[in-house]
Amino acid sequence: MPLGRHLMKTLLLACLVIAALFALGCTSAPAVPAEPTPSLAPEVVNFEVLDLNAEDFGDMPAPTATPEPTPTPIPFSYYAPTVNMTYEELVGSTDDMSVKARELLKDGFPDPKTYYIIVDKQWQVVLVYLRIDDGTKLGKPDLTQPVRYMLCSTGNPNKEYGHETTSGIWQIGVPKERFYQFVNLEAAQYLTLIHSRTYFHSVLYDKAKDLRSLVKESYDNLGTKASHACIRLTVPDARWMWYNIGYGTTCEIRDGDPSDTVTGTIRAQLKLPPSIEGIKLTAGTAPWTDNWQIEDVLHVLPYKYQAAPLPDLGDGEEDTPPPIDTSTVPTVTDTPAPVTDTPPPADTPSGGW
């Protein structure tokens, strides 16, 4: 028995020693402290300070000035868009030929003090400017602000039933017609009454609302005296007048001067394409390349209806023009010139009426 107890104690002691050794092996080794990283000394940078008051500062080059922007010149076609139009557009029509004027114009017109119209019979042009409201009834044109240039035909007294378009300063009347049949069985688009029985209107047709009946000579003779007394225009120009010129707008019809090279330079550039024999026109198919839209017209003056008097047929029945206030009438040399070419005076038409 003593021997057995001794063995038991020996085994127990051995187990304790083994357990102690095992526990000692599972513990982590102590961390080794890291060596400190040596810090770098800051680098000293020397800057040379420029003394703006030093004597040698005056040798530095002066800064380059920003150049003024060069304005883009306005092309002549901006004021005369018809020079870039096709023959079809100049004599055709939109698809509203049968719509009444009271429906198309129901929203009214711009203020009658917006524009000032000049018709020059010598050069056969219509010039529209912004108007200067100088406190007078008729105002005067702002010759630095052109709006539209148009080729036209005024009255030719050498034609049957024709006579000279009366000169004077007028206020545009109320009557307007979309497609009007004259008593002599010819017709025109976009009638705007100037005074008495003298109108702005388009080239002629043998029958209202029938584009196939176009009178080609009335287009060919634009730029010459060829009408009974009215002012003939291309269809786009007559349409512009119809929508943009309200009753009460000042319209000056002047004789003009053959030595007025300023207005002549405008006339020289109003060149339209030649007519096309036998062209087949259909309402609504002609392009619209004009520089304005009907929906953009300002509506200040309300629409009014008044029956259109018969156009002047050369019977001599004319209103006496109102006295001209010479203080408001520009001299012909005041017309601004966009170009330098000088054309010959307008010729007498070779055909048409």
Burial bucket for residue 77 (CB in 10 Å: 0-12, 13-18, 19+):
middle
Would residue 302 count as lying in a domain? yes
Give the closest residue to 253 by CA, choosing from 112, 115, 118.
118
Range from 8-17, 57-66, 105-114 carrying the lowest mean pLDDT: 8-17
Report whether pLDDT(316) > 90: no
pLDDT at 328: 38
Residue 132, CA atoms < 13 Å, CB-side half-sphere: 11
DSSP bridge pairs for 148? 128
Domain span at residue 216 reads 86-317
Burial bucket for residue 15 (CB in 10 Å: 0-12, 13-18, 19+):
exposed
Q: What residues contact residue 124 under an 8 Å CB cut-off, 6+ apart?
A: 151, 152, 153, 154, 222, 223, 224, 225, 267, 346
Tens of pLDDT, residue by residue over 134-172, are 999 999 999 999 999 999 999 999 988 888 999 999 999
pLDDT at 126: 98
Would residue 62 count as lying in a domain? no
If one compares 333 and 43, the residue with the highest pLDDT of the two is 43
Give the closest residue to 128 by CA, choosing from 258, 272, 257, 233.
233
Q: What residues contact residue 3 under an 8 Å CB cut-off, 6+ apart?
A: none
Would residue 281 count as lying in a domain? yes
pLDDT at 63: 80
If one compares 169 and 12, the residue with the highest pLDDT of the two is 169
Tell me how far apart the alpha carbons of residues 240 and 238 are, in angstroms, rounded to a whole number. 5
Q: What is the pLDDT confidence band of residue 183, given thresholds at 50, 70 and 90?
A: confident
Range from 66-75, 173-182, 312-321 carrying the lowest mean pLDDT: 312-321
Q: What token pair was written down for 113?
A: 């003090």
pLDDT at 218: 97
Tens of pLDDT, residue by residue over 204-224, are 999 999 999 999 999 999 999
Q: What is the pLDDT confidence band of residue 62, given thresholds at 50, 70 and 90?
A: confident
pLDDT at 348: 36
Q: What residue type is 330 in one-letter code?
A: P
Would residue 67 count as lying in a domain? no
The structural domain count of the chain equals: 1
Would residue 202 count as lying in a domain? yes
Average pLDDT over residues 101-117: 98
pLDDT at 319: 47
- Provide the 8-state DSSP code for 121: T
For strand 198-201 and strand 140-151, is the pairing parallel, antiparallel, or unpaired?
unpaired
Q: What is the pLDDT confidence band of residue 6, given thresholds at 50, 70 and 90?
A: low
Q: Find the length of the chain.
A: 353
pLDDT at 310: 78
Would residue 275 count as lying in a domain? yes
Give yes or no for a contact between 288 and 89, defined as CB atoms under 8 angstroms apart. Answer: yes
Range from 14-18, 75-79, 231-235 carrying the lowest mean pLDDT: 14-18
Would residue 154 count as lying in a domain? yes
Report whether pLDDT(335) > 90: no
Q: What token pair was written down for 24?
A: 């000692």
Average pLDDT, the chain: 83
Tell me how far apart the alpha carbons of residues 188 and 203 are, in angstroms, rounded to a whole number. 6
For the domain that residue 215 is a member of, what is the CATH number? Answer: 2.40.440.10
pLDDT over 70, % of the chain = 71
Residue 179, CA atoms < 13 Å, CB-side half-sphere: 18
Average pLDDT over residues 294-312: 91
Residue by residue, DSSP assigns 33-92 as PPPPPPPPPPPP---PPP-TTSGGGGGSPPPPPPPPPPPPPPPHHHH-GGGGS-HHHHH-
Range from 87-96, 100-109, 276-285, 315-324 carrying the lowest mean pLDDT: 315-324
Would residue 7 count as lying in a domain? no
Average pLDDT over residues 304-324: 63
